[in-house]
Protein backbone atom coordinates (compact mmCIF):
# COMPACT_ATOMS: atom_id res chain seq x y z
CA UNK A 1 0.00 0.00 0.00
CA UNK A 2 1.22 3.53 -0.78
CA UNK A 3 1.46 6.34 1.77
CA UNK A 4 -1.58 7.77 0.10
CA UNK A 5 -3.38 6.39 -2.82
CA UNK A 6 -6.31 7.19 -5.11
CA UNK A 7 -7.86 3.85 -5.97
CA UNK A 8 -9.78 4.03 -9.24
CA UNK A 9 -12.53 1.44 -9.70
CA UNK A 10 -12.69 0.99 -13.46
CA UNK A 11 -15.56 -1.49 -13.04
CA UNK A 12 -17.63 1.29 -11.47
CA UNK A 13 -16.59 3.62 -14.29
CA UNK A 14 -17.71 1.11 -16.93
CA UNK A 15 -20.99 0.61 -15.08
CA UNK A 16 -21.60 4.39 -15.03
CA UNK A 17 -20.75 4.86 -18.71
CA UNK A 18 -23.05 2.00 -19.74
CA UNK A 19 -25.85 3.35 -17.55
CA UNK A 20 -25.52 6.89 -18.95
CA UNK A 21 -25.19 5.74 -22.57
CA UNK A 22 -28.36 3.71 -22.02
CA UNK A 23 -30.16 6.84 -20.82
CA UNK A 24 -29.36 8.55 -24.13
CA UNK A 25 -30.05 5.71 -26.56
CA UNK A 26 -30.32 7.83 -29.70
CA UNK A 27 -27.15 9.80 -29.04
CA UNK A 28 -23.49 8.84 -29.13
CA UNK A 29 -21.65 9.23 -25.84
CA UNK A 30 -18.54 11.39 -25.51
CA UNK A 31 -16.77 10.56 -22.26
CA UNK A 32 -15.18 13.76 -20.92
CA UNK A 33 -11.62 13.01 -19.78
CA UNK A 34 -10.23 16.54 -19.38
CA UNK A 35 -7.98 17.41 -16.43
CA UNK A 36 -6.56 13.89 -16.45
CA UNK A 37 -10.10 12.50 -16.29
CA UNK A 38 -11.13 14.69 -13.36
CA UNK A 39 -8.12 13.37 -11.46
CA UNK A 40 -8.81 9.70 -12.29
CA UNK A 41 -6.19 9.22 -15.04
CA UNK A 42 -7.09 10.05 -18.64
CA UNK A 43 -5.73 7.03 -20.50
CA UNK A 44 -7.10 4.18 -18.33
CA UNK A 45 -10.42 6.00 -17.98
CA UNK A 46 -10.67 6.67 -21.72
CA UNK A 47 -10.00 3.01 -22.54
CA UNK A 48 -12.53 1.77 -19.98
CA UNK A 49 -15.16 4.27 -21.16
CA UNK A 50 -14.74 3.13 -24.77
CA UNK A 51 -15.13 -0.50 -23.69
CA UNK A 52 -18.34 0.39 -21.89
CA UNK A 53 -20.12 2.10 -24.78
CA UNK A 54 -18.70 5.58 -25.18
CA UNK A 55 -17.61 6.20 -28.78
CA UNK A 56 -16.14 9.69 -28.41
CA UNK A 57 -13.73 11.35 -25.99
CA UNK A 58 -13.61 14.97 -24.91
CA UNK A 59 -10.44 16.72 -23.77
CA UNK A 60 -9.86 20.35 -22.95
CA UNK A 61 -6.51 21.20 -24.53
CA UNK A 62 -4.83 19.97 -27.69
CA UNK A 63 -2.09 18.49 -25.50
CA UNK A 64 -4.60 16.43 -23.51
CA UNK A 65 -6.09 15.10 -26.73
CA UNK A 66 -2.68 14.24 -28.21
CA UNK A 67 -1.84 12.29 -25.06
CA UNK A 68 -4.80 10.01 -25.78
CA UNK A 69 -3.56 9.44 -29.34
CA UNK A 70 -0.06 8.67 -28.05
CA UNK A 71 -1.62 5.97 -25.87
CA UNK A 72 -2.96 4.32 -29.04
CA UNK A 73 -6.57 5.47 -28.70
CA UNK A 74 -8.19 5.90 -32.12
CA UNK A 75 -11.71 6.98 -31.17
CA UNK A 76 -12.81 10.46 -32.20
CA UNK A 77 -11.52 13.06 -29.75
CA UNK A 78 -12.63 16.67 -29.42
CA UNK A 79 -10.34 19.33 -27.94
CA UNK A 80 -12.08 22.63 -27.32
CA UNK A 81 -9.79 25.09 -25.61
CA UNK A 82 -6.29 25.85 -26.80
CA UNK A 83 -4.20 28.99 -26.88
CA UNK A 84 -2.85 30.21 -30.22
CA UNK A 85 0.71 29.13 -29.33
CA UNK A 86 -0.28 25.53 -28.66
CA UNK A 87 0.57 22.88 -31.23
CA UNK A 88 -2.75 22.79 -33.03
CA UNK A 89 -1.01 21.32 -36.08
CA UNK A 90 0.02 18.30 -34.03
CA UNK A 91 -3.56 17.87 -32.88
CA UNK A 92 -4.93 18.10 -36.42
CA UNK A 93 -2.25 15.71 -37.67
CA UNK A 94 -3.28 13.32 -34.91
CA UNK A 95 -6.86 13.47 -36.19
CA UNK A 96 -8.16 15.39 -33.19
CA UNK A 97 -11.38 17.33 -33.78
CA UNK A 98 -11.07 20.98 -32.85
CA UNK A 99 -13.57 23.55 -31.69
CA UNK A 100 -13.96 26.91 -33.38
CA UNK A 101 -15.43 29.97 -31.68
CA UNK A 102 -14.31 32.82 -33.90
CA UNK A 103 -12.95 33.78 -37.32
CA UNK A 104 -9.58 34.32 -35.68
CA UNK A 105 -9.56 30.85 -34.25
CA UNK A 106 -10.58 29.48 -37.64
CA UNK A 107 -7.61 31.25 -39.22
CA UNK A 108 -5.21 29.79 -36.64
CA UNK A 109 -6.60 26.33 -37.36
CA UNK A 110 -6.36 26.81 -41.12
CA UNK A 111 -2.73 27.89 -40.82
CA UNK A 112 -1.98 24.92 -38.57
CA UNK A 113 -3.75 22.50 -40.90
CA UNK A 114 -1.69 23.80 -43.83
CA UNK A 115 1.39 22.41 -42.08
CA UNK A 116 -0.14 18.91 -42.10
CA UNK A 117 -1.63 16.51 -44.63
CA UNK A 118 -4.86 16.39 -42.68
CA UNK A 119 -8.15 18.20 -43.15
CA UNK A 120 -9.24 19.80 -39.91
CA UNK A 121 -12.46 18.45 -38.42
CA UNK A 122 -14.38 21.35 -36.92
CA UNK A 123 -16.99 21.65 -34.19
CA UNK A 124 -18.42 25.16 -34.45
CA UNK A 125 -19.28 26.45 -31.02
CA UNK A 126 -22.13 28.86 -30.49
CA UNK A 127 -22.21 30.90 -27.28
CA UNK A 128 -25.80 30.42 -26.15
CA UNK A 129 -25.41 32.22 -22.83
CA UNK A 130 -22.44 30.90 -20.85
CA UNK A 131 -20.15 33.64 -22.21
CA UNK A 132 -16.97 31.57 -22.09
CA UNK A 133 -15.85 30.37 -25.48
CA UNK A 134 -18.28 30.06 -28.35
CA UNK A 135 -19.33 32.54 -31.02
CA UNK A 136 -21.82 35.29 -30.25
CA UNK A 137 -25.04 34.89 -32.27
CA UNK A 138 -24.44 38.11 -34.24
CA UNK A 139 -21.10 36.79 -35.53
CA UNK A 140 -22.36 33.27 -36.15
CA UNK A 141 -23.54 33.51 -39.80
CA UNK A 142 -20.12 34.83 -40.86
CA UNK A 143 -18.34 32.07 -38.96
CA UNK A 144 -20.52 29.38 -40.55
CA UNK A 145 -19.98 30.93 -43.98
CA UNK A 146 -16.19 30.92 -43.51
CA UNK A 147 -16.08 27.43 -42.02
CA UNK A 148 -18.28 25.64 -44.49
CA UNK A 149 -15.49 24.91 -46.95
CA UNK A 150 -14.04 22.65 -44.25
CA UNK A 151 -15.29 19.47 -42.67
CA UNK A 152 -17.85 20.82 -40.18
CA UNK A 153 -18.58 17.86 -37.95
CA UNK A 154 -20.83 19.55 -35.42
CA UNK A 155 -22.52 22.61 -34.05
CA UNK A 156 -22.23 22.64 -30.30
CA UNK A 157 -22.65 24.61 -27.11
CA UNK A 158 -22.49 24.30 -23.33
CA UNK A 159 -25.10 25.00 -20.66
CA UNK A 160 -24.67 27.36 -17.70
CA UNK A 161 -27.29 26.02 -15.28
CA UNK A 162 -28.07 22.46 -16.33
CA UNK A 163 -27.68 21.30 -12.72
CA UNK A 164 -30.52 23.59 -11.61
CA UNK A 165 -33.50 21.66 -12.86
CA UNK A 166 -36.06 23.94 -14.52
CA UNK A 167 -33.75 26.97 -14.61
CA UNK A 168 -35.17 29.29 -17.31
CA UNK A 169 -31.74 29.76 -18.91
CA UNK A 170 -31.79 26.15 -20.09
CA UNK A 171 -34.71 26.69 -22.46
CA UNK A 172 -33.29 30.03 -23.56
CA UNK A 173 -29.94 28.41 -24.39
CA UNK A 174 -31.76 25.56 -26.16
CA UNK A 175 -33.63 28.09 -28.31
CA UNK A 176 -30.43 29.95 -29.26
CA UNK A 177 -28.79 26.63 -30.01
CA UNK A 178 -31.63 25.68 -32.32
CA UNK A 179 -31.40 29.03 -34.11
CA UNK A 180 -27.65 28.56 -34.64
CA UNK A 181 -28.17 25.04 -35.92
CA UNK A 182 -30.69 26.30 -38.45
CA UNK A 183 -28.27 28.90 -39.75
CA UNK A 184 -25.83 26.06 -40.42
CA UNK A 185 -28.52 23.99 -42.13
CA UNK A 186 -29.55 26.95 -44.30
CA UNK A 187 -25.92 27.30 -45.38
CA UNK A 188 -26.02 23.71 -46.59
CA UNK A 189 -24.24 21.97 -43.71
CA UNK A 190 -25.43 18.76 -42.05
CA UNK A 191 -23.64 18.92 -38.73
CA UNK A 192 -24.17 16.86 -35.62
CA UNK A 193 -25.48 18.74 -32.59
CA UNK A 194 -24.30 18.45 -28.98
CA UNK A 195 -24.98 20.47 -25.84
CA UNK A 196 -25.71 18.07 -22.95
CA UNK A 197 -23.32 17.67 -20.01
CA UNK A 198 -24.06 15.13 -17.26
CA UNK A 199 -26.87 17.14 -15.72
CA UNK A 200 -28.63 17.66 -19.05
CA UNK A 201 -28.08 14.04 -20.04
CA UNK A 202 -29.85 12.96 -16.84
CA UNK A 203 -32.65 15.53 -16.78
CA UNK A 204 -33.21 16.77 -20.35
CA UNK A 205 -33.65 13.97 -22.90
CA UNK A 206 -34.89 16.62 -25.36
CA UNK A 207 -31.34 18.03 -25.40
CA UNK A 208 -29.50 14.80 -26.15
CA UNK A 209 -29.42 15.43 -29.92
CA UNK A 210 -26.65 13.41 -31.65
CA UNK A 211 -24.08 13.29 -28.87
CA UNK A 212 -24.03 13.69 -25.08
CA UNK A 213 -20.98 14.80 -23.10
CA UNK A 214 -21.06 13.40 -19.58
CA UNK A 215 -18.12 14.19 -17.34
CA UNK A 216 -18.76 14.10 -13.61
CA UNK A 217 -21.45 11.41 -13.86
CA UNK A 218 -19.11 8.86 -15.43
CA UNK A 219 -17.01 9.26 -12.27
CA UNK A 220 -20.08 8.26 -10.28
CA UNK A 221 -20.91 11.70 -8.90
CA UNK A 222 -24.40 12.92 -9.69
CA UNK A 223 -24.73 16.69 -10.22
CA UNK A 224 -28.52 16.59 -9.86
CA UNK A 225 -30.73 15.25 -7.05
CA UNK A 226 -32.14 12.32 -9.01
CA UNK A 227 -31.83 8.78 -7.87
CA UNK A 228 -29.86 6.83 -10.46
CA UNK A 229 -27.41 4.05 -9.78
CA UNK A 230 -24.11 5.90 -10.25
CA UNK A 231 -21.14 4.43 -8.43
CA UNK A 232 -18.33 6.72 -7.23
CA UNK A 233 -15.11 5.63 -8.92
CA UNK A 234 -12.44 7.14 -6.65
CA UNK A 235 -11.45 6.05 -3.16
CA UNK A 236 -8.76 8.07 -1.37
CA UNK A 237 -6.95 6.06 1.23
CA UNK A 238 -3.81 6.08 3.31
CA UNK A 239 -2.48 4.11 6.24
CA UNK A 240 -1.53 4.57 9.86
CA UNK A 241 2.13 5.57 10.18
CA UNK A 242 2.31 5.69 13.99
CA UNK A 243 0.05 5.26 16.99
CA UNK A 244 0.52 6.60 20.50
CA UNK A 245 -1.30 7.18 23.76
CA UNK A 246 -1.48 10.73 25.06
CA UNK A 247 -2.75 11.79 28.49
CA UNK A 248 -5.80 14.00 29.03
CA UNK A 249 -4.96 17.67 28.65
CA UNK A 250 -2.41 17.27 25.84
CA UNK A 251 -3.16 19.15 22.61
CA UNK A 252 -2.78 18.11 18.99
CA UNK A 253 -1.20 19.74 15.91
CA UNK A 254 -0.33 23.35 15.02
CA UNK A 255 -2.11 25.97 17.06
CA UNK A 256 -3.15 23.35 19.62
CA UNK A 257 -6.76 23.74 18.54
CA UNK A 258 -7.83 20.43 20.07
CA UNK A 259 -7.08 19.14 23.55
CA UNK A 260 -7.72 15.57 24.62
CA UNK A 261 -10.53 15.46 27.22
CA UNK A 262 -9.38 11.98 28.34
CA UNK A 263 -6.38 9.76 27.87
CA UNK A 264 -6.63 8.63 24.29
CA UNK A 265 -4.93 6.81 21.40
CA UNK A 266 -3.94 8.88 18.38
CA UNK A 267 -3.22 7.53 14.91
CA UNK A 268 -0.96 9.57 12.66
CA UNK A 269 -1.84 9.42 8.95
CA UNK A 270 0.71 10.65 6.37
CA UNK A 271 -1.73 12.61 4.18
CA UNK A 272 -2.13 16.37 4.43
CA UNK A 273 -2.95 19.32 2.25
CA UNK A 274 -0.04 18.51 -0.05
CA UNK A 275 -1.82 15.21 -0.70
CA UNK A 276 -5.23 16.72 -1.35
CA UNK A 277 -6.76 16.94 2.12
CA UNK A 278 -8.13 20.50 2.28
CA UNK A 279 -6.82 22.41 5.30
CA UNK A 280 -10.30 23.88 5.55
CA UNK A 281 -11.41 20.46 6.83
CA UNK A 282 -9.42 21.03 10.04
CA UNK A 283 -11.64 20.13 12.98
CA UNK A 284 -14.48 19.00 10.69
CA UNK A 285 -13.45 15.78 9.02
CA UNK A 286 -13.67 12.09 9.79
CA UNK A 287 -12.02 9.01 8.32
CA UNK A 288 -12.90 5.33 8.27
CA UNK A 289 -10.33 3.43 10.31
CA UNK A 290 -10.70 -0.02 11.80
CA UNK A 291 -14.30 -0.30 10.58
CA UNK A 292 -15.41 2.93 12.29
CA UNK A 293 -15.68 6.58 11.44
CA UNK A 294 -13.38 8.57 13.67
CA UNK A 295 -12.67 12.30 13.99
CA UNK A 296 -9.52 13.93 12.67
CA UNK A 297 -8.44 16.21 15.51
CA UNK A 298 -6.44 19.43 15.34
CA UNK A 299 -5.32 21.11 12.16
CA UNK A 300 -4.70 19.42 8.82
CA UNK A 301 -0.96 19.86 8.16
CA UNK A 302 0.96 19.80 4.89
CA UNK A 303 1.93 16.15 5.28
CA UNK A 304 -0.25 14.64 7.96
CA UNK A 305 -3.43 14.42 9.97
CA UNK A 306 -4.11 12.94 13.41
CA UNK A 307 -7.07 10.68 14.14
CA UNK A 308 -8.55 10.28 17.62
CA UNK A 309 -9.13 6.57 18.25
CA UNK A 310 -10.18 6.69 21.91
CA UNK A 311 -9.39 3.45 23.67
CA UNK A 312 -9.46 1.29 20.55
CA UNK A 313 -6.51 -0.81 19.59
CA UNK A 314 -5.17 0.45 16.25
CA UNK A 315 -2.48 -1.29 14.25
CA UNK A 316 0.28 0.70 12.54
CA UNK A 317 -0.10 0.11 8.80
CA UNK A 318 -3.91 -0.17 9.09
CA UNK A 319 -5.88 1.19 6.12
CA UNK A 320 -7.44 4.64 6.51
CA UNK A 321 -10.17 5.63 4.06
CA UNK A 322 -10.44 9.39 3.66
CA UNK A 323 -13.25 9.33 1.12
CA UNK A 324 -14.88 6.79 -1.14
CA UNK A 325 -18.25 5.66 -2.44
CA UNK A 326 -19.69 5.72 1.08
CA UNK A 327 -20.76 2.08 0.96
CA UNK A 328 -18.64 1.06 3.96
CA UNK A 329 -19.54 4.13 5.97
CA UNK A 330 -16.59 6.24 4.81
CA UNK A 331 -17.03 9.93 3.98
CA UNK A 332 -17.69 10.83 0.34
CA UNK A 333 -16.17 13.47 -1.94
CA UNK A 334 -19.55 15.21 -1.75
CA UNK A 335 -19.27 15.38 2.02
CA UNK A 336 -15.83 17.04 1.73
CA UNK A 337 -17.22 19.44 -0.85
CA UNK A 338 -20.19 20.40 1.33
CA UNK A 339 -17.90 20.96 4.33
CA UNK A 340 -15.51 23.18 2.38
CA UNK A 341 -18.01 25.13 0.29
CA UNK A 342 -17.17 23.65 -3.09
CA UNK A 343 -18.37 20.92 -5.45
CA UNK A 344 -17.25 17.31 -5.62
CA UNK A 345 -15.77 18.00 -9.07
CA UNK A 346 -13.06 20.08 -7.37
CA UNK A 347 -12.39 17.46 -4.70
CA UNK A 348 -11.72 14.56 -7.09
CA UNK A 349 -9.93 16.70 -9.69
CA UNK A 350 -7.72 18.01 -6.87
CA UNK A 351 -6.43 14.46 -6.30
CA UNK A 352 -4.26 14.77 -9.40
CA UNK A 353 -1.03 15.12 -7.44
CA UNK A 354 2.43 13.66 -7.76
CA UNK A 355 2.40 12.53 -4.15
CA UNK A 356 -0.72 10.46 -4.46
CA UNK A 357 -0.23 7.14 -6.18
CA UNK A 358 -3.04 6.09 -8.48
CA UNK A 359 -3.97 2.44 -8.68
CA UNK A 360 -6.64 0.77 -10.76
CA UNK A 361 -8.96 -2.08 -9.89
Q: Kindly identify the residues of this chain, within the stretch 209-248, that bind ligand PLP according to CB under 6 A.
A: 213-217, 223
32 or 297: CB nearest ligand PLP: 32
User: b/e string for 282-306 if b means 16 or more Cβ within 10 A?
Assistant: beebbbbbbeeebbbbbbbbebbbb
Q: Kindly identify the residues of this chain, within the stretch 65-124, that bind ligand PLP according to CB under 6 A.
A: 80
CB of 41 to ligand PLP, least distance (A): 16
CB of 34 to ligand PLP, least distance (A): 6
Strand-pairing partners, residue 296, are 307
Among residues 158, 193, 237, 294, which is the contact residue for ligand PLP, using CB under 6 A?
158
Mark 247-286 with x for binding to ligand PLP (rule: CB under 6 A) and - for no binding. Answer: ----------------------------------------
218 class by beta-carbon count within 10 Å (0-12 exposed, 13-18 middle, 19+ buried): buried
Among residues 29, 102, 128, 198, which is the contact residue for ligand PLP, using CB under 6 A?
198
CB of 149 to ligand PLP, least distance (A): 25
CB of 230 to ligand PLP, least distance (A): 12
- Residue (of 207, 224, 223) closest to 215 by Cα position: 223
- Residue (of 280, 294, 292) closest to 337 by Cα position: 280
Is 219 annotated as catalytic?
no
133 or 340: CB nearest ligand PLP: 133
Is 328 annotated as catalytic?
no
38 or 273: CB nearest ligand PLP: 38
- Out of 38, 125, 181, 254, which one is annotated catalytic? 254
Under the criterion CB under 6 A, does residue 352 sit at the interface with ligand PLP? no
List residues with catalytic annotation. 34, 254
State the residues that interact with ligand PLP by CB under 6 A.
32, 34, 80, 158, 197-199, 213-217, 223
Amino acid sequence: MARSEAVIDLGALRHNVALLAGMAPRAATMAIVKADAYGHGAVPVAKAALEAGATWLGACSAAEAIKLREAGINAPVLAWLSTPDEDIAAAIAADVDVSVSSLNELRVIEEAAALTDSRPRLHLKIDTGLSRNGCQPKDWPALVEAAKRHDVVAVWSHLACADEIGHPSIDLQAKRFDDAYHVAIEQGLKPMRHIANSAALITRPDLHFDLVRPGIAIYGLNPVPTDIDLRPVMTFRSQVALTKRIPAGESVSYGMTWTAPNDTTLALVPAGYADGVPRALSGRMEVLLGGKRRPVVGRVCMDQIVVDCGDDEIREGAEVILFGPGTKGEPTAREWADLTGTIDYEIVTGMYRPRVRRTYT
